Amino acid sequence: MSHRHFHKHKLKELYNTGFERNSTTQSGRLINNNGTANLKKTGVPVWQSISIYHTLLRMNRIMFFLSIFIVYSIVNFVFALIYTFIGVEHLTGSDMGQTFFWRFTKAFFFSCQTLTTVGYGHVAPTGLLANFVASIESLLGILVFAIVTGLIYGRFSRPRAYLMFSDNMLIAPHKHGKALMLRMATYKNNHITDVEAQLTLAVHTEEHGKNVTRYYPLPLEIPKISSLALSWTIVHPINEDSPLYQYDKDQINHAKLEVIVVIKGFDDHFSNIVQQRTSYTHKQIVYGAKYLPMFERSADGNYTIVELDKINAHEPANLPEEVVVAES
């Protein structure tokens, strides 16, 4: 698709996407499926480029608790070594073992009790040095568990949209023409109102021997809905005002396209605005298909069943004959 086609229809080009127009500086897709930007920052030390707080808030749940366990074990291991080298004999109530491993395990479990401020009372430090180390560890334990408690609360209370998107976008028949469609729904028991959708098309093309990325807004048939109760099929009509107007099936399959999707709405439970984004590459666009229904009435007719496992269910569909527009 030539750059001349886009100027012929006087399409509005976007310059405020936050991405560079020079494609030689970019690789792969712009936005990952999970909504994160597909980039890596260098030029500064690792401890400056990574926010531990944001990383722990967004980390996978299993990895989050595994990280807490690893840090907990490392801290106790270090203090256990300190107690062992001070001498287990300075821990009253501890049985004196003959091996280093026996003495270390006693010191390790005493460290666990001190760090968590449990203090069973069976073992207690004696001597100035052992008591000093135990007091430092107790202070560290209070600080660490206060931080962990705050992180758990932050992860639990952080506003999220909890949106599920279809795996593919479809070019489907629509009102005697065709349209680009995607489907989405909420997968939790939250309720989002005043939901807005914004689609941006990124076209990677070559101009004068240079790779260039141009960005175009994709106008939607319905850009905003009052409530996302069931599912929402977002529709971009492919007409003469669409950047996709002259793309046929082969061009869709071979063009370097990416559609960036941004969803924003108000969550009643959080009483806050939530946002989620994703993107689709040309490999995820199915040409000539339509979505199948994903909700139905219950057997007793008292409620509606939303079948989230069918969000990507589609079948082949005939499109109207291609409109050929001659290049001038």
pLDDT value of residue 324: 42
Burial 140-152 (b: 16+ CB within 10 A, else e): ebeebeeebeebe
Domain residue ranges of the chain, discontinuous segments joined by + = 3-39+161-316, 48-157
- 3-state helix, strand, coil split of the chain in percent (to 5) is 35, 30, 35
Which tokens hold the place of 107?
A: 């010191």
Highest mean pLDDT among 95-109, 114-128, 153-167: 153-167
pLDDT band at 259 (very low <50, low <70, confident <90, very high): very high
- Within 8 A by CB and 6+ apart from 173, the residues are 179, 290, 317, 318, 319, 320
Which tokens hold the place of 170?
A: 């479809």
- Within 8 A by CB and 6+ apart from 52, the residues are none
Q: Which helix (H) or strand (E) holds 289?
A: strand 289-291
Q: Which CATH architecture has domain 3-39+161-316?
A: Sandwich (2.60)
Percent of the chain with pLDDT over 90: 40
Domain 48-157 adopts which CATH fold?
Helix Hairpins (1.10.287)
Separation CA 326–CA 328 (nearest Å): 6
Tokens 């941006």 correspond to what residue? 200
Cα-Cα-Cα-Cα torsion 148, 64, 55, 31, nearest 10 degrees, comes to -150
pLDDT value of residue 4: 41
Which tokens hold the place of 102?
A: 């026996």
- Asked if residue 247 lies in contact with residue 10, where contact means CB atoms within 8 angstroms, the answer is no
* Predicted confidence (pLDDT) at residue 109 exceeds the cutoff of 70: yes
Highest mean pLDDT among 36-50, 80-94, 186-200, 243-257: 186-200
- Which DSSP symbol is given to 38? S
Q: At what angle do helices 128-157 and 61-86 cross, to 10 degrees?
A: 180
Please count the other Cβ atoms lying within 10 Å of the Cβ belonging to residue 129.
14
- Asked if residue 224 lies in contact with residue 196, where contact means CB atoms within 8 angstroms, the answer is yes
- Within 8 A by CB and 6+ apart from 250, the residues are none
Largest alpha-carbon pair distance within the chain?
A: 94
pLDDT band at 312 (very low <50, low <70, confident <90, very high): very high
pLDDT in tens, 188-241: 888 899 999 999 998 877 777 777 788 899 999 999 999 998 899 999 999 988
Task: Give the side-chain half-sphere CA count within 13 A for 152.
Answer: 10
Record the pTM: 0.75
- Pairing assessment for the beta strands 124-125 and 169-174 based on DSSP bridges: unpaired
